[in-house]
Every structure is written in C-alpha cells, then in structure tokens.
Structure 1
Amino acid sequence: MNSNLFFALYEGGPQVIAWSIVIDFFGAIAQAASIAEMASTVPIAGAQYHWTYHLAPQPVKRFATWMQGWMTWFRWVSLLAGASNISAIVVQQLVMLNNPNYVPQTWHVTLIMVIMLFTQGIINSIGWMFALVPWLELMAGILHICLFVVFMVIYTTMGTRHSGEWIFFEHQISSGWTNTYVAWNLGMLTCIWSFTGFDGAVHMSEEVRKAKEAVPRATFWSIALNGVLA
C-alpha cells in the first residue's frame, strides 16, 4: 500500500488514508469470513464459480456461474498487473534515489514489468524452480512482519510528526474533483487494493492438507493480520 499512497493523498489527503483503512478492513474481514465459511464446507479450486453454480437460483445459475468465473479471472489478471506495476515503480524510484543522473522514462516501467512477469512465469513453469516458491513465500511473510517493525521504529524515532488532528481530519483534494464524495471513494482504492486477493488460499484448496481447516484459517487471518499491521 505504501507504494501507491500518493493516490489517496491526491484524492483527499491523510484523512482518506486514516479512515478508509478502517472502513476497508471491516468490509474485507466480513467478506473473508464469508468465503472462509464456504471454504470450510466445500474447499475446491474453482471456489466462487463452483459455489455460485450450486447456490444460485435455478433460472440464473448458468449465467451467474459464467459471469462469476470471468469476473474472478479478470480480477486476478488485474491484480497481477497492478502488483507488477507498483513493484516496477518502486524499482524505478530506487534507481532514481541512488543515481541522480538517471532520467526516468515511462517505458522503463513497462520494461521492468515485462522482466518481472517473465521471471515469475519461468519460476512457475520449471519444476525445480517451482519447488522454491513455498520458501520464497515464507521468506516474504517473515520480511513483511520484520520490516514492518523496522520501519515503525525508524519512523517513530527519526521521522517528523504531524498532529493527530492533521492525520484524521485534514482533507485536501488535489486531483481537481469538486465532488468530495467521488474524490473520497477514489482515494479509498489505495487501501482497498491492499485488502484484495484473500481468496487465493481457496483456489489452492486441492493442493493443501486438511483443506477444510487450513484454507479458512489462511483466508481469514491473512486479512486480520494485515488489518492490524495497516
């Protein structure tokens, strides 16, 4: 989320970030709990579209299942593109920070994205490299928590501070929107993006031991933990 905080600041200022995290967390945890409940009953890789077929009313179940399947597919493709874009921007900013002579170009971000996606494709396609994925994910999870502590200590001891009033009540719209409601909701996308993808564990149900227990826990607690860290 830190990588695209500028979007929320642009659309409403610190107030949007502070309050939308709370709103998004409660919305996401409710969805995660619902999906976790379904996964505890029918843990299957198809997840949403499989459940839709069995639970939707008979007259619309085929169409609803078709729509759900494509929506889930499109969402995951969009999420991958978004994650790659944010990561590429971070890499470019690190280069700018360490090399004052570097002149950033928009196509550089696209090139970095392509390299990242190609690398991910190779890792997931070659057997012995795919075996590294669980270890990479474990390392990422450990770093996620450890670096949170590191950054919190650094920001608390060395960073400049604003008042609580500024954080929770300062409202600035720099995007040009005159409608506060529209700007506020656009700013919320920053935090919403950070609470997506929690159904990923469900799509791995057929590869997990004791799926009826492990998958719901992973689905629910991933949001609960990230909500606390946010």
Structure 2
Amino acid sequence: MAEISSQKEKADLSSGSHDVHQQTGSADHADRILINASGHIQELPRNFSLISLAGVGVTVGNVWPAIGGSILTAIFNGGPPGVLYEFITVSVFYWCVAASIAELASAIPTAAGVYHWASVTPGSPRWGRLIGYFAGWWNYLAWVAGAASMASILGNTIVQMYALNHAEFSPQPWHVFVVYIAATWIACAAVCLANRAMPYLNSLGIVLILAGILITVTVVTTMPGRDGRPPHASAQFVWADWQAAVGYPDGFVFVAGMLNGAFSVGAVDVVTHLSEEIPQASRNVPLAMLMQVAIGFATGLAYLVAVMYAINDYDALFAAPYPIAATSILHHSWLNS
C-alpha cells in the first residue's frame, strides 16, 4: 500500500496541476502533495494533533524556564525594569517574525523550515542556493547551541534544587556536567526510540509547563512578607528604578539586553519542522505557532513580574552561591524566615 501511495504521489507531483484539491478529491492527500511539492515523498506518520504540536512549541521554546536561567545576566541590563521592558519589546519583534513564518508555513508547509523558504523565495536559483545554504547552517547552529544551553540550565537547576534541600552538599561543576550529559542523552533516546510516544510526551510537557508557572507564581507572590519573611519589592523598584552601572549608554544597554529576551522567545520556528507529521499542516502549523507564541509570552511575563517583585535584597542576589539567580530569588522569598 505504501508503494502504491508513493507512486500515486509521484504521479500527482508530475502532473503540474495547480488545483490539488480538485485533482485528488481528498483534503489530506492534497495536503501531502502541497507539503511534498519539492519532490520529497511522505515517509513519516502523521501522529501529531494540534495540541501536541503546540506542546512541542511550548516545551521546546520553554520561555519562562529559559528566562529563569538567564536572569543573572539579564538583570545587569537595567535591573528589573530593564528585564521586563526588554522582554516585552523583543517579544513584539518576534511576533512579527512569527507572523512572517506562519504565512510561509501556510503557503509552503515543509519540515525543512527556514532554509527551504530562504532557498525558494529569492526568485533566482543562484541566490536561493546561497541564501538557503547560510540560512540552513545558521538554523542548525542555533538548534545545537539552544539545545546545549537548555540542557545546561536544567543541569544547574537540578543540582541547585538538591543543594537547597541538603545543606551539607557542596555543588561542583562536574555535578552539573553529569546531569547535563544525562539530560541530553535521555532527550536523544526519547526522540530516536519513542517516536510514537512523542505527541503524548509533548502534550504532557505543555501541562507541566503551565502547572510549573502556576505553582511558581502562586508561591512567589504569596510567601514574601509572611512569617517573618522579607516583603515584596516596591513597584518603583520593579518598574522604574533603572540600574545599569556597566559603563555603557542606557540605549546601548537596553538594545544589548534584548538578547536575553530573544534567547527565551526566539524559537518561533519549532513547529514548522514537524509539518510532515501533522494533518492539514498549512492550517495547523500556523495555529500551533500562534498558541506557542501566546502561551510563551503570557507565562514569561507572569514569571518575570512575580520574580521581580520577590527580589528583596539586590546585593544578596549577586553574592549568592547559585549560578542561576532565580534559585537565590526563590530561596529568599519562600525558604528564609
């Protein structure tokens, strides 16, 4: 059956018809032809739904945990107001990027994503090959660096969680490295050996991401000021007190600080790489991208506002032994008495 289907798709692709829906009489089959218009034949099972595809975007994008892992760097770029306004500004820019990619994903759904669009949109095959080559390599390097950084944040977070609950434990860099390697290989094994389970794992991932932000925001906003704990920071400190004693002009600091926000919201093309694994990709991929961007921004902003109000000792934040500042913030807001 698979061979017959492949032969039929090849015949459809070579017919040159512009009205694929009329040609096949099947929306799903027409969608396959649209995705594989370059000549590639459908090989992967379409086992993702809209929710599980959005789950891929939310869990891989991982906005609020990524922000938590980079606050110690971001907070030098203007303090709490810089972190908040830089995140909001860069999010608006990435909404524009996401809208452009969603339009391309609707018109030319392809698992290749950015490098395929860069190859076909310039018009000239010569420039298309050149631009597509660089787009592909930059996209590849971004995924490699992004995966490494998120695994590193996970390694640091797990080690620091253990250290917070075991006063006698002294975390070492090699502890983080071991967890980093374990996390990377577990993720690799899941992708390679549990492909059928990936939609369910990503649906679970979106639940865990939302549950995590709900629990974190609830605890961080309710614990300060109770039972002898330090109170919340003032609105002036969070929204207006610009702090950037780094020796550069404020404008430059703000623009440079947007890189930290871009690190957390920049993976807007995630779901496009699964275009071959979801029915009606030209409709569902843009919708999943919209859900990813909306959930990412809402959870990221909620996390930042809650955490910024929980900073009650600015100097202690940098003096803490934790390489991820969010750990120190959470420690001071709901563990200290």
TM-score (norm 2): 0.63
SS in structure 2 of the partner of residue 27 of structure 1 = helix
Taking a change above 3 Å as real, the CA distance of residues 12 and 107 of structure 1, as seen in their structure-2 partners, is farther
Give the match for residue 62 of structure 1: 129
Quick one: which of 96, 113, 129 aligns to 1:30?
96
SS in structure 2 of the partner of residue 45 of structure 1 = coil
Give the match for residue 71 of structure 1: 138
Quick one: which of 65, 72, 88 aligns to 1:6?
72
Distance of 2:252 and 2:148 partners within structure 1: 24
State the shift of 1:57 in Å.
Answer: 4.4
Contact 2:77 2:253 in 1 (8 A): yes
Contact 1:92 1:109 in 2 (8 A): yes
Structure 2: where are the runs of 5+ without partners? 1-66, 225-230, 302-337
Quick one: which of 146, 153, 165 aligns to 2:236?
165
Contact 1:8 1:186 in 2 (8 A): no
Give the match for residue 109 of structure 2: 43
How many residues are matched?
Answer: 227
2:195 aligned with 1:130: yes
State the shift of 1:143 in Å.
Answer: 1.9
TM-score (norm 1): 0.91
More moved, 93-102 vs 186-195:
186-195
SS in structure 2 of the partner of residue 197 of structure 1 = coil
Taking a change above 3 Å as real, the CA distance of residues 34 and 136 of structure 1, as seen in their structure-2 partners, is same
Distance of 2:197 and 2:265 partners within structure 1: 26
Give the match for residue 110 of structure 1: 177
SS in structure 2 of the partner of residue 170 of structure 1 = coil
Taking a change above 3 Å as real, the CA distance of residues 115 and 177 of structure 1, as seen in their structure-2 partners, is farther
Quick one: which of 269, 289, 312 aligns to 1:219?
289
State the shift of 1:107 in Å.
Answer: 2.5
Contact 1:37 1:216 in 2 (8 A): yes
SS in structure 2 of the partner of residue 75 of structure 1 = helix
Aligned pairs for 1:139-158 within 5 A: 139-158=204-223
Q: CA RMSD in A?
A: 1.7
Q: Which amino acid in 1 is paired with 2:149?
A: G
Distance of 2:213 and 2:74 partners within structure 1: 20
Distance of 2:83 and 2:152 partners within structure 1: 21
Q: Which amino acid in 1 is paired with 2:165?
A: N
